[in-house]
Structure 1
């Protein structure tokens, strides 16, 4: 099953922010909401959503500055919302890395259709480049390399296989037997093999392996992997 598509909404107007969030959630998206650029920048350094929607006029840091920083660090699709509709303003936005531009007032249906288009284009680009992106993780499928929050992880071959399986099954409870079967190819085997590799992988991908935010224990079942970190 395909993981839920995540959208970060950075908008200082609470009415617009709440309306966009409610509409996108009703369309099946996971939505992170931020009322200013500073809190959004802090959270998005830790985990990257599938799409970012940014209002141009933000308190703290401007939408322009936030977009520049995001584009310099990540390939996440960015849509800019603005009350300005002049051609020059749209050109400015595209110049510093915005992928799409929507002037206020806008219809929620158009916003949703544009978000869906950004997701489709991003996934097509990832597929053609042999790259898998999910939350804080990027995996190079061709060279068998992986990054978390922009930092490359030194993985053994089996650790890479395990991480790839987990990312592809984001937010799904996984039993140790299933992991053994799918990653090791064993129909029978010691479940402790999975436990040991999970512990080693946590040491490489978690800020605090004793309090993991990505590779969680699912008591009575096995594990649950979450590529996207909780905000806040």
Structure 2
């Protein structure tokens, strides 16, 4: 199997787009690029990229709408690009399922490194065999998926890895820093990024029928997964 990854760069500033494409191709990736949101959706559906580097501000169709459509199709890693360090853009993108984010102006070499880190997380298979049963929820460590009543829950790679860390440390309070190091290696993520991913994870599990108290918040400390009582 080829190690070449197909990347889609969606950036409406031509100079920035060209630099990003050059750096990513230098790293051995196959890169397609566009500056238009509508064209980006056409490329995504036709090319099925392994990762999308997605600017928030785009003509025709903006980055948030593209992210929503991408998440409806699956868990392809997405790194959002924001024009300035605005919490509203960052948090909204993460809550919608983005795996990471970068803020303009940025060093293109740093962006390339962030892309490599997200690809490693998305493609790394866990070494632990078997499954973890948590009531109606099963964490399949071989198939790298979460199942509720046998049906897959559409988690992103970051959400799945956070679930694995919590599920393999039941009843143990994990700090945000511990979760970030274990589940998001190579990321420059802040605590709010971990919070956003956990919010998405809990919402998806709850929507699938998992009790809302499976993953609890230890105020001022972090998060804890408490397995359901088998007698319940």
> What is the CA–CA distance in structure 1 between the aligned matches of 2:123 and 2:143, rounded to whole Å?
10
Q: What does 1:150-169 correspond to in 2, within 5 Å?
A: none
Secondary structure class of the residue paired with 1:45: helix
Deviation, 1:126, is 8.5
> What is the CA–CA distance in structure 2 between the aligned matches of 1:73 and 1:13, rounded to whole Å?
27
Q: What does 1:197-216 correspond to in 2, within 5 Å?
A: none
> What is the CA–CA distance in structure 2 between the aligned matches of 1:75 and 1:129, rounded to whole Å?
17
Match of 1:13 in 2: 13
Q: What does 1:11-160 correspond to in 2, within 5 Å?
A: 11-124=11-124, 128-130=141-143
Deviation, 1:7, is 1.0
> What is the CA–CA distance in structure 2 between the aligned matches of 1:112 and 1:97, rounded to whole Å?
20
- CA deviation profile, 1:58-93 (whole Å, cap 9, x unmatched): 000000100110011121000011112122321111
* TM-score where L is the length of structure 1: 0.53
Secondary structure class of the residue paired with 1:3: coil
1:46/1:125 Cα in 2 relative to 1: closer, same or farther (>3 Å)? farther
Match of 1:2 in 2: 2
> What is the CA–CA distance in structure 2 between the aligned matches of 1:19 and 1:126, rounded to whole Å?
34
* TM-score where L is the length of structure 2: 0.53
- Contact 2:53-2:79 at 8 Å conserved across structures: yes
Larger Rg: 1
- Give aligned pairs, total: 131
1:69/1:112 Cα in 2 relative to 1: closer, same or farther (>3 Å)? same
1:96/1:23 Cα in 2 relative to 1: closer, same or farther (>3 Å)? same
Secondary structure class of the residue paired with 1:46: helix
Deviation, 1:95, is 1.0
Deviation, 1:16, is 0.6
1:130/1:112 Cα in 2 relative to 1: closer, same or farther (>3 Å)? same
List gaps (5 residues or longer) in structure 1: 132-232
Deviation, 1:45, is 1.2
